[in-house]
Structure 1
Amino acid sequence: MADEEKTLDVGSASASAESSSISAPPAPQPPPIIDPIPDGGVRAWLQVLGSFFLFLNSWGIVNTFGVYQTYYATALPESPSDISWIGSIQAYLLLLVGVATGPLFDAGYFRHLLFAGSFLVVFGMMMTSICTRYWEVMLAQAVCVGVGCGCLFVPSVAIIATYFSRKKAFATGLAASGSSLGGVIYPIVFHRLQPTIGFGWATRILGFIMLATLSISLLGMRTRLPPGPARKLLDIGALHEPPFVLFTSGMFFGFMGLYIPFFYVQSFAIETNVMRPDLAFYMLAVMNGASVFGRIIPNFVADRVGPLNILLPGTLAACVLAFGWLGIESSAGLIVFCVLYGFFSGCFVSIPPTVVVTLSPNPSVIGTRIGMCFAICGLGILIGTPVAGTLVRKYGFDAAIGFTGAAVAIGTLILFAARTSKVGFRVKVIT
């Protein structure tokens, strides 16, 4: 009898344990362990290499459009202003798509963005190679390539911030120098090949180079942080922070004027007889070549004195040079202008993402805020270069140059207001 009661007690205990195990909520899982930011190492520098090629095939393509602007002026019946819409929409989409790619990056879709962007930019260039009419070029080179570039740009910047802390600005500058190198290599390749093998094959060869270099990024780039929760396309809280709002506004006006020389310096040199046509072509390559150093050296210094403290004087120097463009009447003067303007304008693409990082309250919103900032900046490019084309057609290059200098000057003043809003009028403050 005692044995029977003992058996029943064991049975009821087992049932009770089973019942409690069913009804008890699951134990909370510990949060994933995240290694500290490495700030170096093979894997971290592989991301810089991969980002370098992403910049090469995103902003590098935008920086190349000046050579297409010159070619289309002779191959298409449209005006310079209409032609510049191709490059403007391409650059605008590069920045606008960042509104979506930023949250997607934060949510862990980095690899998806790489594959989609790589396919679109290569496919767009291949389709451009068979275009014969304006609307075809608009769809292929402006829309398809622009959207592809947008898929690549924000992830290429945001991933560096997850691998570097003290060397963040320098690493970003090294990666961003790829856009300048693309602006050197691609125009020269197109210019040398187009007269001998035609527009179609010259453009297709650019597409093959893009495919090869993007393959390196696809092979070597990996995210370090686990995916975050789904986020909205906009971080509304950023719109209540004066430093971020002022910084984004200053970037909008800066981009409105900053890229006009990259689109029109060749046409200026040829149409004003400042330089022989065969030499004028290389001015875009000279400007982009100097921009390589303008993206590395200022960023190296920015890690020590603060990114906004470097961006401000660099933008001011670009403003002074833009107004100085009005007085250029010789080949030597134009070469000096291209070297200096390329250098000082170089920091305008490479440093702002690092500034956005410093203005963000935590790393989880970096991608979203970079996307927001650059989407608004893209409106500046969308407006600026077509306006410059209209001014060139109606009033000449002096009007377009004046517009360039005025837009960059307004941007400089607002950037100064952004710094003042954050740290006041103190000079020796890292920001």
Structure 2
Amino acid sequence: MENESSDNPSSTDNETPGQPSTPKQSNEIPNGGLRAWMQVLGSFLLLFNTWGIVNTFGVYQTYYESALPESPSSISWIGSVQAYLLLFVGIGTGPLYDAGYFRALIFSGSFFIVFGMMMTSICHSYWEIMLAQAVCIGIGFGCLFVPSVAIVSTYFSTRKALAMGIATAGSSLGGTIYPIAFRKLQPQIGFGWATRVLAFIMLALQAISISTMRPRILPAQKRAIWDFRAFRELPFTLFTVGAFFVFMGLYVPFFYVPSYTIQERIMSEDVAFYMLSVLNAASIFGRIIPNFIADRAGPLNVIIPGTAAACILAFGWLGVHSTCGLIIFCILYGFFSGSFVAIAPTIVVTLSPSLSVVGTRMGMFFSLGGLGLLVGTPVAGQLVLRANFEAAIYFCGVVVAFGVGIMVAARIAKAGLNIRAVA
């Protein structure tokens, strides 16, 4: 979505924010300066509070398993619904962003995520938590996701990769800090106040984003919600199907590493929760470094080996039974899984016939491919319940491997068998 705005003619810094662009302004992208970098900061904080909270669900998963009379599979639906709504709601919020409702989306999204966290703090039953933490917060995430990725590219040209890399690192940093905060606070002040503290942090950070972020331009044309012609193009269709299977398995460690660590008695309960923060901290580098390589080698040429490495590591999880081994696994898996999340949107751009349809196809890709995220972790939870963690780990590795194979087919469909071709 962020790249859709990048082909729009730019405006001068003196124009009214959100003013439609004109052709003569096309070479006047700031590409730096205080105002431009403040947009990066605002986007960083939005992603800190959206994907960062999604990446935090592992600590809630572990807590709910001990506090609620529900199976791991049922509990994981809370996190998976929340994550999928972040992607799915963007189909509707994209056209609203294009129509100039940026601030309305930011305000409404901020309200939903803070209100949802506050309501979560007073919930006692499964369905109350589902409505507050999954549905309410998920809708708020969906309102914020498009603005968080769309605005930065309108302020940068040659330094766009660096700016977007810094902004997307916010999701990993949020997933590093929030689990530590919750785990430290929950035993001392209880679940309710620990969750409310997170809500107050989110409120403060949202206030910074609201006060700093200003759209420069509006798209020259309004964006369609759906483009059925995309499915006539084999590379795009194959990549979307491949992403579905990768998403299905990719987040299993993010949801279940703390539970696995405790059940296998690798670490004490107090330390096990930090493994989720290790996963997310490593993902910061996995979201920035591969992007720079992809600019030269081609995004498909980078995402395939990176995701394949995550797949191999997933199978390697089967042999992790020590503290040292678990830390190494979390660092490496966090890095390589981050490369998939960071590069996938760029591939949608390269597989689109023109920048005028990028926004539409981005929404299609995330809503369809993200269905794997919706169902994957509950399936893994059911396997943990009915079999063991080993079955869930095999599921994680197999579905990611299947997704990688389909992405290889997408790469061949686009660039042929020439391994040196930039794709």
- The 5 Å alignment of 1:393-408 reads 393-408=385-400
Q: Partner letter of residue 330 of structure 2?
A: C
Q: 1:317 to 1:396 in 2, by over 3 A?
A: same
- Which range moved further: 79-88 or 367-376? 367-376
Indicate whether 1:286 and 2:282 are aligned: no
Rounded to whole Å, the distance in 1 between the matches of 2:139 and 2:371 is 15
Q: Partner letter of residue 366 of structure 2?
A: F
Post-superposition Cα deviations, 1:256-296, rounded to whole Å, max 9, x if no partner, equal 00000000001001111222222211110111111111111
Q: Please state how far the C-alpha of 1:32 moved relative to its aligned partner.
A: 5.8
1:95 corresponds to: 87
1:41 corresponds to: 33
Post-superposition Cα deviations, 1:136-194, rounded to whole Å, max 9, x if no partner, equal 10000000001111111132222233333443333222111111111111111111111
Rounded to whole Å, the distance in 2 between the matches of 1:91 and 1:113 is 18
Residues 258, 276 of structure 2: 8 Å contact kept: yes
Residues 151, 215 of structure 2: 8 Å contact kept: yes
1:420 corresponds to: 412
1:275 corresponds to: 267
Indicate whether 1:261 and 2:253 are aligned: yes
Q: Please state how far the C-alpha of 1:31 moved relative to its aligned partner.
A: 5.1
Q: Aligned match of 1:55 in 43, 47, 58?
A: 47
2:18 corresponds to: none
- The 5 Å alignment of 1:52-91 reads 52-91=44-83
Q: Aligned match of 2:188 in 196, 207, 211?
A: 196
2:368 corresponds to: 376
Q: 1:374 to 1:157 in 2, by over 3 A?
A: same
Rounded to whole Å, the distance in 2 between the matches of 1:159 and 1:330 is 44
- Which range moved further: 96-105 or 158-167? 158-167
- Which range moved further: 398-407 or 45-54? 45-54
Rounded to whole Å, the distance in 1 between the matches of 2:163 and 2:350 is 15
- The 5 Å alignment of 1:9-408 reads 33-36=24-27, 37-408=29-400
Q: Which runs of 5+ in 2 are unaligned?
A: 1-20
Post-superposition Cα deviations, 1:34-66, rounded to whole Å, max 9, x if no partner, equal 333444333332222211111111110100000
2:14 corresponds to: none
Q: 1:122 to 1:150 in 2, by over 3 A?
A: same
3-state secondary structure, aligned to 2:41 = helix
Residues 295, 350 of structure 1: 8 Å contact kept: yes
Q: Please state how far the C-alpha of 1:135 moved relative to its aligned partner.
A: 0.6
Rounded to whole Å, the distance in 2 between the matches of 1:190 and 1:41 is 36
- Which range moved further: 66-75 or 106-115? 106-115
- TM-score normalized with structure 2 length: 0.91
Residues 154, 367 of structure 1: 8 Å contact kept: no
Q: 1:32 to 1:231 in 2, by over 3 A?
A: same
Rounded to whole Å, the distance in 2 between the matches of 1:208 and 1:352 is 32
Rounded to whole Å, the distance in 1 between the matches of 2:295 and 2:214 is 24
Residues 107, 229 of structure 1: 8 Å contact kept: no
- Which range moved further: 178-187 or 214-223? 214-223
3-state secondary structure, aligned to 1:123 = helix
- Which range moved further: 31-40 or 338-347? 31-40
Rounded to whole Å, the distance in 2 between the matches of 1:217 and 1:369 is 27
Post-superposition Cα deviations, 1:41-96, rounded to whole Å, max 9, x if no partner, equal 33332222211111111110100000001111111111111111100100111111
Q: 1:343 to 1:362 in 2, by over 3 A?
A: same
Question: RMSD between aligned alpha carbons?
Answer: 1.7
3-state secondary structure, aligned to 2:345 = helix
3-state secondary structure, aligned to 2:151 = helix
Residues 223, 359 of structure 2: 8 Å contact kept: no
Residues 98, 218 of structure 2: 8 Å contact kept: no
Rounded to whole Å, the distance in 2 between the matches of 1:314 and 1:108 is 37
Residues 106, 364 of structure 1: 8 Å contact kept: no
Rounded to whole Å, the distance in 2 between the matches of 1:430 and 1:44 is 30
Q: 1:51 to 1:300 in 2, by over 3 A?
A: same
Q: Please state how far the C-alpha of 1:33 moved relative to its aligned partner.
A: 4.1
Rounded to whole Å, the distance in 2 between the matches of 1:236 and 1:102 is 17
Q: Which runs of 5+ in 1 are unaligned?
A: 1-29
Identity of aligned residues (%): 65
3-state secondary structure, aligned to 1:351 = helix
Rounded to whole Å, the distance in 2 between the matches of 1:59 and 1:52 is 11
Residues 94, 223 of structure 2: 8 Å contact kept: no
- TM-score normalized with structure 1 length: 0.89
